[in-house]
Every structure is written in structure tokens, then in C-alpha cells.
Amino acid sequence: MVQKKDNLLQVSDLSTTYFTDEGEVNAVNGVSFEVGREEVFGIVGESGSGKSVTARSLIDIIQSPGEITGGKIWYRNQELAQILAGSYPEAVDGNRINIRKLPPDITKVLRGKYFSMIFQDPKESFNKSYTIGEQIAEAVEVRKRIDENLDSLGDLKYSFWDFLRDSFSIRGGFVSDESYERAIELLELVDMPDPVSRADEYPHQFSGGMLQRGMIAQALACDPDLLIADEPTTALDVTIQSQILEKLAAIRSETGMSIVLITHNLGVIARTCDYIGVMYAGELVEKGGLTDIFERSVHPYTHGLLQSDPSTTATGERLEPMPGQVPDLIDRKMPTGCNFAERCPQAMDICAEDPPVYDVDEAHETKCYLADQKQHGDRKQQRRQ
């Protein structure tokens, strides 16, 4: 596949494993993709496919017993690369940074200033004991402090006195007044009606849709290069879904940020994404542009998805649910060879061996033997290691 020269994010062979009592769970297994500037990259798959874990791995909020176990995550940022080159030479290559090689303090800075994430359930993603305004302002404050100390990459210290003041809601805790003002501006940006008084309200006083807007406002607080949206509309009504998606698109045009959008809903993908990755059982089984996936897909799993989703099948056409279940991701129980083979209507003998990734087209690749037109290789289609 042609690599774009100035892509914002390049994920290379990412693997994340959970070390549980029952065994090692390969939640993400050798996933590679790129996200360009101002692009929306969608990751689609059933639940259990590893898409959420992938999203969380990008900003490393994976907690024990999980661990990112392999791969590289390249982030292209000239300014930051220059700052880090001195102290962390192993992580810097020209104008891009391998996030995996950075210590936790620095990845924290990345989360505070360059990346943002919004989550599926807005009601659970806010702290019920603080107002929306306070929590958005927190994100603003983090960014502010990083900017103030960019050379030393800002230490976000928090003392016991800060805690006391914050607990009793006394101004002068962690969040400055400036940041709070900015939080209100952000609420206006996401079309929150009456932002000044709503900022003083608690999460339970908002509807799901409004709260999601609040979460978007919070995500924009740091003016990120990349926004990761994990099922942002799944918990919302269909009508609200549209509004939120439109808002995200608008913000993308205005700010030029990139978005990684995780969802199981093909309709959402169709509306918003430029490029798409299809995940199954921890692997990216197909990757390509919007039309590549929707009109020219190769992998049987992608076909299956398209046929079983009501939003992508024409009215009158039958919905075909896919038989079988996602395999157990515990290491010793995983199938050898292609993960999808046992459910695949087009499985061949050769599928007992794990398929390599094939180029189908300029931006389109798939991990399936069906892409290999002739078993003994056509020079045009390169076998990729």
C-alpha cells in the first residue's frame, strides 16, 4: 500500500495483550493503519473485535492486567519531536515520535495536549460529583499548564490543599478562572443552549445527547491534532446521532483535526469516514477507502457485515446474519490459521495457515487468500510479509 508521506499517525503492527488468570488474551494482534491530516479513519467490527482496545492503546490508557506488547505508534509532530529529541532520542525519528518509546509522564502530556478521546456512554464518563463546566475546565487547565511549561513538559502537580479546595468547591483549586471561561466558550462551540448556566449543572441533569456534546466540548479543550471517538453515538437516539455526527464533521473542517472513529454501525461509517478498517478477532482483516469497502470489498467478513446491517442493505433486500460467533481471544484457544475460517462461507484448505496481507488496490488491502487471484502469484499483487 502506498504510504502517505505526511500522515499524522502511523500505527505499525500494534499488539495489546491482557494477562488474565484464565490465560493471555490477544485483544489486538498486529494491527497496522494510518491516519492522515484532516482525515476520518473508521474502525468497524463486532463487539469483541478489539476495536475499543485499539483506540485505548493509541493513547495508552490500558490498565493492568492489559499491556501493549508490540508495535510502533508514530505521531508526526515537528515541534514536539524537536523538544523530545534531546531527552528521548530512541523515540524520535526526524519529525515523528514513536509514542510507545515514551515514558508515562510524556504520554500523559500527549493526552493532555495533542490527543483527545470521547467515549460511548457520556453518563458514565463524567464524574457525577462535579459540574460539567468544572470538568471541561479541567481539560482546558491541563492544556494551559502544558503550554506554560512546554520546554520542561509541564509537571501537573496536584497537592493536598488543591484537593481540599476542590472538594469543597472553593475557587482556587486546580482549575483557574480563565480555564473556566474557556470551558463556557467550548460549550457554545458545540451548540449547547444557555452555556453559562448549564456549565454549573451536574451530569445527571443532562440528556444523553447534550452530555455527549459536553464530552465533545471537553475533547476540544486541548485543541487536539487527533480525536479518538469510541462509539460516540451508540448510546444515543437516531435523531441525536445525526446531530452529533454533523457536529463532528463541522469541527473537523474548522479545526483540521483528524478523527479515529470506532463503531459497529456501518451507517455511521458511511456517513463520516474517509478510510475504514475492518477488525475481526483482534486483527484488521480489510482496510481501504469508503468506496473500496462498501463497493469492492474482498474479505468475506466485510461482506457479511454489509449484508447483515440494515443501514447498508437496500430496502427489500434480505438481511443475512452471520452464522457463528467471534472466537475466544484467549491465546491457547485461538484458531491457528485464519481467525475467520470457521465461519467463512468461502474458506479454502489454505486458510488453515494464517493469511498474509495482500494489496488489492492503491489504498485497499486485505488479509485474505481470496485476494491472491492465482495461487502462484501474479507480479502485480505483491505478497507482503
Q: Contact positions toward other proteins, by CB under 8 A?
A: 56, 59, 61, 63-66, 108-113, 116-117, 119, 121, 124-129, 138-139, 142, 146, 156-158, 160, 162-163, 166-167, 173-174, 202, 204, 215, 218, 222
- Shorter beta-carbon distance to other proteins: residue 154 or 209: 154
Least distance from other proteins to the Cβ atom of residue 286, Å = 28
- Shorter beta-carbon distance to other proteins: residue 42 or 66: 66
Question: Are 28 and 54 in contact, with CB atoms under 8 Å apart?
Answer: yes
- Shorter beta-carbon distance to other proteins: residue 218 or 339: 218
Least distance from other proteins to the Cβ atom of residue 200, Å = 11
Q: Which three cell numbers stand for residue 253?
A: 473542517
Q: Which residues of 121-142 are buried (b: 16+ CB within 10 A; e: fewer)?
A: bbeebbeeebbbbbbbbbbbbb
Q: Which three cell numbers stand for residue 74?
A: 508514530
Distance of alpha carbon 216 from alpha carbon 51, whole angstroms = 20
- Shorter beta-carbon distance to other proteins: residue 163 or 291: 163
Angle between the N-to-C axes of helices 208-220 and 238-255, in degrees from 0 to 180, rounded to the nearest 10: 10
In single-letter form, the type of residue at position 195 comes to P
Angle between the N-to-C axes of helices 132-148 and 208-220, in degrees from 0 to 180, rounded to the nearest 10: 10
- Shorter beta-carbon distance to other proteins: residue 157 or 374: 157
Least distance from other proteins to the Cβ atom of residue 192, Å = 18
Q: Where is 140: in which H helix or E strand?
A: helix 132-148
Q: Which residues of 240-260 are buried (b: 16+ CB within 10 A; e: fewer)?
A: bbebbbebbeebbeeeebbbb
5 by Cβ neighbours in 10 Å (0-12 / 13-18 / 19+) ranks as exposed
Least distance from other proteins to the Cβ atom of residue 88, Å = 18
Looking up cell 495533542 gives 114
Least distance from other proteins to the Cβ atom of residue 310, Å = 29
Least distance from other proteins to the Cβ atom of residue 114, Å = 9
Q: Where are the beta strands (DSSP E) in 120-222?
A: none
Distance of alpha carbon 148 from alpha carbon 160, whole angstroms = 22
- Shorter beta-carbon distance to other proteins: residue 155 or 378: 155
Least distance from other proteins to the Cβ atom of residue 27, Å = 12
**Within 13 Å, how many C-alpha atoms sit on residue 318's CB side?**
3
- Shorter beta-carbon distance to other proteins: residue 7 or 125: 125
- Shorter beta-carbon distance to other proteins: residue 26 or 339: 26
The DSSP letter of residue 383 is B
Least distance from other proteins to the Cβ atom of residue 284, Å = 23
